[in-house]
Amino acid sequence: MNHQNPVSKDIQPLLSEAAKKLGIPPEQLAAHLQNGDLSRAMQNMPPSQQQMLKKTLSDKNACERLMNSPQAQALIKKLSGK
């Protein structure tokens, strides 16, 4: 993992769970995300989920709806410590 930008202990459980679902080590997922290499992080996802995520991330309105959802707002609040 990149020691200049370590993963916060607050998001470690989320990172671990996501890595588990993707079938990769948490350190590898963190490195991919820190490098902005989402495609490598998604390579173990089923193709249908990859397509859905890519479609959502490429659609500005869908991204805004996702980020404004109560679940995303609660996660952001928890991770930011506010």
Residues 1 and 40 in one domain: yes
Instruction: Print the domain residue range for 19.
Output: 1-45
The pTM for the full model equals: 0.58
- Which residues neighbour 12 within 8 Å (Cβ) at sequence distance 6 or greater? 26
Count of domains for the chain = 2
Residues 35 and 55 in one domain: no
Alpha carbon separation from 27 to 14, 33, 58 (Å, rounded): 12, 10, 26
Residues 66 and 37 in one domain: no
Mean pLDDT by 10 residues, the chain (82 residues): 56 84 88 83 86 86 88 81 68
Residues 36 and 1 in one domain: yes
Residues 36 and 3 in one domain: yes
